[in-house]
Amino acid sequence: MEMIDILLVIYVNEGIHIRELSRKLKLSIPAVKNHVDKLLKEGLITKKYEGRNLKLYINRKNRNLTSYLYQIESIRLKSLPKVIGDAVFDIISLLENKPIIVIIFGSYAKGTFTKTSDLDVIFVFNKLNDELEKKAKLVSSRHGISIEPVYLSWNNFRKKFFDEKDAFMKELKENKIIVIGVEYWRELENEVPA
């Protein structure tokens, strides 16, 4: 069992306890505790007691976590049907003005997608332009899937990120697959809102 596998399960199931982690990884509790101790020692995860249960969380303040998050998000993207990743990268390659953040959300991020699900993707740009809609339609017809792009400027995205009443952003924070921009996402997670 590799460290990345354990981090992936904790990342997707924030607040998971040792017994549940053991079940999901199909490892004995002592083996899981051994791996968890290593991750705690490296500062990649944190623990918090809730009653008698020890709950585990990703330590978002650890700078070394970024490289692991790239791997985790890559694994999650590869777990989707190939056409989904191909479609997202196809749109990105067609754009002249490249996005700084690209995130898959909705049913594909939750793992509840069906053959008829549309692909929900958010694109965050330093400077907005109107070419995304056309490119998304082109790629939709090429790959035979319905793509629903959402696009925001970095400033609007940043504002929404810290708006605790924003239902869309709450959902995005819980169910997302970051295709591009892990470092920008982490920067926002560690930023103190103004």
Cα gap 160→172, rounded to integer Å: 11
| Confidence (pLDDT) at 133 | 87
Binned at pLDDT 50, 70 and 90, residue 194 comes out as low
Q: Does residue 193 carry a pLDDT above 80?
A: no
Look up the pTM and report it: 0.89
pLDDT digits 0-9 by tens, 22-75: 999 999 999 999 999 999 999 999 999 998 889 999 999 998 999 999 999 999
**Pairing mode, strands 147-153 and 119-125:** parallel
SS3 75: helix
| Confidence (pLDDT) at 176 | 96
**Pairing mode, strands 101-105 and 53-58:** unpaired
Cα gap 115→68, rounded to integer Å: 30
Binned at pLDDT 50, 70 and 90, residue 120 comes out as very high
Average pLDDT, the chain: 93
